[in-house]
Amino acid sequence: MASNKNKLAFLSMPAPASYVAGLGRGASGFTTRSDIGPAREGPSAEVIAEAQARRGEEPEIDPEQFQDPDNEYGLFAGTTYEQDDEEADKIYDDVDQKMDSRRRARREARENAELAKHRAERPKIQQQFADLKRGLSVVTDQEWESIPEVGNLTRKKRRKDERTFVVPDSIIVGDRSKSEYENSLDTRQQQANGLETPADTGTMTNFVEIGQARDKILSLKLDQISGTATTSGSATSVDPKGYLTSLNSVVLKTEAEIGDIKRARMLFDSLVKSNPKHAPGWIAAACLEEHAGRMVAARKLIKAGCEQCPKSDDVWLEAARLHNNDDAKVILANAVQHVGQSVKIWLAAADLEQDAKSKKRVLRKALENIPNSVRLWKETVNLEESATDARILLSRAVEVIPLSVELWLALARLETPERAKAVLNKARKSVPTSHEIWIAAGRLLEQGAMGDPDKSTETKNKALDLVDRTIELGVRELRRHQVLLTREQWLKEAERCESDGSPRTCEAIIKATVSMEVEEEDRLDTWVSDAESAEARGMVGTARAVLAYALKVFPDQRNLWRKAADLEKAHGTKESLDGVLSQAVHYCPQAEVLWLMSAKEKWLAGDVPAAREVLEKAFIANPESEQIWLAAVKLEAENGELGVARELLVRARTVADTERIWMKSAVFERQQGQYAAALETVSTALSKFPKFAKLYMIQGQIRQMEKNYSAARASYAAGLKACPKEITLWVLASKLEELDGRSIKARALLEKGRLVNPANEILWAESVGVEERSGGAAQAKAMLARGLQECPSSGLLWSMSIWAEPRPTRKSRSVDALKKSKDNPLITCTVARLFWAERKIEKARQWFSRSVATEQDKDIGDHWGWWLKFERQHGTPEYVEEVIRQGVAAEPHHGPAWQVIAKDDKNVGKGTKELLSMVADALQ
């Protein structure tokens, strides 16, 4: 009993603070029908918070307590959104946009970089399997058929769909009656006498009348269409010549077009009724009717327009256009009564006349009414066949319109030179703000100076100096009258003078205006830019004048002299080039390039003594210049003076004593067959310049020519030890080992070279060549793949990779190569050869041209050789000559095949044209 009492002892205890009866089983907060009164309320928020704090729970956060104060509600919910609030919001929005735009560029650049990095790390599935997809093109039919079919691999039996459907009786009956034949007539056919069709009794069809009616309707339609029919009673005749033409001129309009015309007609009708003085409305309404083919209605409308708007010349001109020639003359005669001051009306009236005499009569009548119209005077003068009559008219014209520059210039052109000067002086006084008159005066003086061939040079120069003074005076006068043309406008006028055949006037304009609006520190760059842009537009005289003025201001700028010399070399004569170079070496005696250019031009012109004289002067100005010494040696060697050339080299080694002079001395002795002297020279040079790699190359090549492979190997080894970064030494050493039958040693040397010089395409290409020559095609392909991994943008390796592919996949491989190598010229030449192999001649020619597009690409002689070989096979003699001309002008120096042939001792002294032909023959 005691135990039961203890069990129920909690009933007498007070309930916990957070206790709610029935809350755990969901029995609180509602009432039942057995309850009386309201349900018990739950605990308050304070009680729940206190209980959670005792249990260590965090209170729930009210989401409204962090509400944005800009979203006004509650306290400001009832306020009105006024204009001040809108302006404040706009200001804040502008500030936000400004701050965002300041960071936008950096943010977008960062996002693009992150996206590119992400694409590089995790490329798309399509990009990962692109090579495999292209590889499917080489799958054979047997391999393709051996691919197993996709079957049911789930090992589950599929339920077959074996449902059946009931066929309708109509289908069965129809199929049954398909092959049946009727062999009897039904009751209706028997009553109608078989298959005869009964006609109505008492009626007969007159087919003759039907045919006549049809012919009559057709003839009426033909009359309407042709427009050339004449109807007299019932007789109708059609013009047989214009019949087909009239039929072709019929324009068939769709229902939509007809509806549009009707709606437009209603609109224009409303327009002209509401505003009858609006001339464009009448013109538009008449054009609409003309488009609809209702010429009569169009003429009526434009006639009404002329009555309503008699002061509008456009309405009269439209009325004249809609009528024939005779009616148009009458209309324009009426128009003159209302708008006699309209130039367009008089010109239209003159155009209606057929003969020149009538035109002159109309235009002179027009000049009586409008004497101050320049256009009417010009048209009248153009109709005159005699220069004397035209001169008389222009004299009267400039009296009536003294401010017309065109008329003054036209009159000056018709006068003699002496009288033209007087005319231009009058024009200058009448129109002191016209620059065209001053330019015309300068051109007139230039023509007078150059027109007489019997004049002496001194007289011509004085007359041409007068051109400069005239233009300079004109610029000053224009400034005095507040006429300020910009530099660009003056340059355009100078180019126009050059185009019209007045180069001295062009030069005078440049002298007087090229320094306008240019800061002192920007003059050189601005003038060089002006000259380059003028040359690009084909205005060589303007470019020459700009450079001449710049050289007067900056005579010690050797780059400016070089640009002037290049301009004369490209567009001038030999005399002009010689004159520029003579002045250049006078003002810049320390510029070795200018001396060399001058000597080379003399030599190419065949004047060897003059070239020697230029080089002697260059020696005086630059006694220690290796380039001038070597140019002198080359000049003597090319002209057969070998003893003089050898003496010059000895003196050069004493005076200049540079590594390049020692190298050229050794090469000179080797070319002459003096191998012992060449080796001695190389040994002496190596003692002075042990780090010059070309000396080791020359020594090794001489030993190799003597079949002394061990000595050549020692020379290359010494060179590799002294210059491990010289790629050509590694290649020469490898080729020596390969020549000696030691392919393994050659392979090891190249492997060592790749370790010393990582990511070098030449060493990788040579390694691939060693593997190919040793017969290991698979090893060569693997080596090529390794090279492309280390040099992914190498044009040389990608070119080898294209030729290593089978013929069907070469084109797709070339697409990858162009993308990876960024249009490398080697890839461009390879693509041209691919088109050549496919007999796509024009495409191949375009790609060969692209392979030698830039100045850097033009230096690769192999590309010129391939192009010449292609044109010899598929081009015309003109194409061949053009390729040879461009190749000789480019003067290439690089390329595997080119260097082998150009540096061969047998080809010493041969020109670029001969070398190009030999390279084209050697390429395979």
Instruction: Give the CA dihedral 688, 694, 699, 703, nearest 10 degrees.
Output: 170
162 has pLDDT over 80: no
What is the tens place of the pLDDT at every residue in 800-809? Answer: 999 988 888 8
Q: 383-387: which pairs have CB atoms within 8 A and are 24 or more residues apart?
A: 383/356, 383/359, 387/414
Residues 536-565, mean pLDDT to the nearest whole number:
89
Confidence of residue 120 (pLDDT cuts 50, 70, 90): confident
pTM to 2 decimal places:
0.56
Confidence of residue 868 (pLDDT cuts 50, 70, 90): very high
Positions of E strands within 648-724: none
The pair of structure tokens assigned to 425 is 């002086």
Residues 684-698, mean pLDDT to the nearest whole number:
90
Do the Cβ atoms of 732 and 759 come closer than 8 Å? no
pLDDT of residue 321: 87
pLDDT of residue 848: 92
Residues 379-397, mean pLDDT to the nearest whole number:
79
Confidence of residue 415 (pLDDT cuts 50, 70, 90): confident
Confidence of residue 570 (pLDDT cuts 50, 70, 90): confident
Q: 455: buried, middle or exposed (CB in 10 Å: 19+, 13-18, 0-12)? A: middle
Confidence of residue 66 (pLDDT cuts 50, 70, 90): low
pLDDT of residue 308: 87
Residues 514-526, mean pLDDT to the nearest whole number:
85
Residues 328-338, mean pLDDT to the nearest whole number:
85
* Greatest alpha-carbon span in the chain: 158
State the pairing for strand pair 235-237/230-232.
antiparallel
Whole-Å CA distances, 165 to 161, 168, 175, 322: 12, 9, 18, 76
Confidence of residue 175 (pLDDT cuts 50, 70, 90): low
Residue tagged 């002075």 (tokens): 688
Do the Cβ atoms of 630 and 652 come closer than 8 Å? yes
Confidence of residue 371 (pLDDT cuts 50, 70, 90): confident
In whole angstroms, give the CA distance from residue 613 to residue 610. 5
Lowest mean pLDDT among 32-36, 187-191, 368-372, 436-440: 32-36
pLDDT of residue 610: 83
pLDDT of residue 246: 45
Query: Which DSSP symbol is given to 237?
Result: E
What is the tens place of the pLDDT at every residue in 182-211? Answer: 566 566 656 655 545 444 444 556 667 777
pLDDT of residue 237: 46
Mean pLDDT comparison of 29-38, 227-236, 615-624, highest-scoring range = 615-624
In whole angstroms, give the CA distance from residue 97 to residue 651. 75
What is the tens place of the pLDDT at every residue in 607-620? Answer: 888 888 888 888 88
What is the tens place of the pLDDT at every residue in 872-887? Answer: 999 899 999 999 999 9
pLDDT of residue 165: 63
pLDDT of residue 228: 43
pLDDT of residue 404: 77
- Bigger pLDDT: 355 vs 182: 355
- Bigger pLDDT: 513 vs 232: 513
pLDDT of residue 232: 38
Positions of E strands within 756-888: none
pLDDT of residue 730: 92
- Bigger pLDDT: 713 vs 260: 713
In whole angstroms, give the CA distance from residue 201 to residue 895. 106
8 has pLDDT over 90: no
> What does the radius of gyration of the chain's CA atoms come to, in whole angstroms?
50
140 has pLDDT over 70: yes
In whole angstroms, give the CA distance from residue 802 to residue 809. 8
pLDDT of residue 845: 92
Lowest mean pLDDT among 553-567, 640-654, 782-796, 883-897: 640-654
109 has pLDDT over 80: yes
154 has pLDDT over 70: no
CB atoms closer than 10 angstroms to residue 717 = 15
Percent of the chain with pLDDT over 90: 10
pLDDT of residue 870: 92
Residues 564-577, mean pLDDT to the nearest whole number:
86
pLDDT of residue 899: 87
Which stretch of DSSP H or E encloses residue 231?
strand 230-232
Confidence of residue 2 (pLDDT cuts 50, 70, 90): very low
pLDDT of residue 834: 92
Do the Cβ atoms of 655 and 623 come closer than 8 Å? yes
Residues 6+ apart with CB under 8 A from 239: 226, 228, 229
What is the tens place of the pLDDT at every residue in 828-865? Answer: 999 999 999 999 999 999 999 999 988 888 889 999 99
